[in-house]
Amino acid sequence: MSQNTVSTSKSKLFTTKVIARTAILGAIAFILMMLDFALPIFPSFYKIDFSEVAVLVGGFAMGPIPAVAIEGLKVILNCLFQGSATAYVGEIANFLIGCAFVVPASIMYRKNKSKETAIKGLVVGSLCMTAAGVILNYFVLLPAYSFFFHMDMDVLVSMGTAIIPAIKDRLGFVLLATTPFNLIKGIIVSVMTMLIYKHISPLMHR
């Protein structure tokens, strides 16, 4: 790739239009993030929100780098205006797992902008998010919750056991609670994105 090509690519990423759309979608994602809700079949600290819909719209329209920027802006705004009830563990998790979802989907769609590719990208993104959720929760997030809230790991595991009796340890928690939660979230967000994007895509490409 020539230096001129690289410079052109960078200039396209930082146009006024891209920056403005990133800011708007980041604000929308922040609002959607506040409208979260728990599902009774999962521990109460696992909550679903639709902020990733706005991030995916931006990723499909502008590419993976703006998608990461929207994801980051959403989390920063949430921390500034809402604070954190999780010692910022939840917010960091939201950013990392969200990026695991939107980046693969955006990259795949960027290479071939078709409905079929969008669906494949959303499926791959959902699977990547689920895998990232398992790895991060097991090795980082659950231990971080335990550390910052001075809570024994068994107490966290018991919150899952109370809802899903088959959960007996940390591995069972991430396999039986974290994994299905992220799969369900991926399906819901993917369906909503497909329904919305085809209607607003002409506006995003003006």
CATH code of the domain containing 119? 1.10.1760.20
Examine the pLDDT at 9 and tell me if it is beyond 70. no
Of 5-9, 24-28, 81-85, the range with the highest mean pLDDT is 24-28
> What is residue 6's predicted lDDT score, i.e. its pLDDT?
43
Nearest-angstrom CA–CA distance, 103 and 177? 24
Nearest-angstrom CA–CA distance, 184 and 201? 25
Mapped onto helix, strand or coil, the DSSP state of residue 39 is: coil
> What is residue 5's predicted lDDT score, i.e. its pLDDT?
44
Question: Quick check: 55 and 98 in contact, CB under 8 A?
Answer: yes
Mapped onto helix, strand or coil, the DSSP state of residue 38 is: strand
- Secondary structure percentages of the chain, helix, strand, coil, to 5: 80, 0, 20
Strand 47-48 with 37-38, pairing: antiparallel
Examine the pLDDT at 174 and tell me if it is beyond 60. yes
Q: In this predicted model, what pLDDT tens digit does every residue of 49-66 receive, in sequence order? A: 999 999 999 999 999 999
Examine the pLDDT at 75 and tell me if it is beyond 90. yes
> What is residue 43's predicted lDDT score, i.e. its pLDDT?
85
> What is residue 138's predicted lDDT score, i.e. its pLDDT?
94
Letter for the amino acid at 63?
G
Q: How many domains does one find in the chain?
A: 1
Structural domain boundaries enclosing 62: 3-204
Strand blocks (E) in the chain: 37-38, 47-48
Examine the pLDDT at 202 and tell me if it is beyond 90. no
Q: DSSP code of 28?
A: H
Q: How confident is the model at residue 200 (pLDDT cuts 50, 70, 90)?
A: confident
Letter for the amino acid at 103?
V
Mapped onto helix, strand or coil, the DSSP state of residue 87 is: coil
Bridge partners (DSSP) of residue 38 are 47
Examine the pLDDT at 30 and tell me if it is beyond 80. yes
Predicted TM-score of the model (pTM): 0.88
> What is residue 4's predicted lDDT score, i.e. its pLDDT?
45
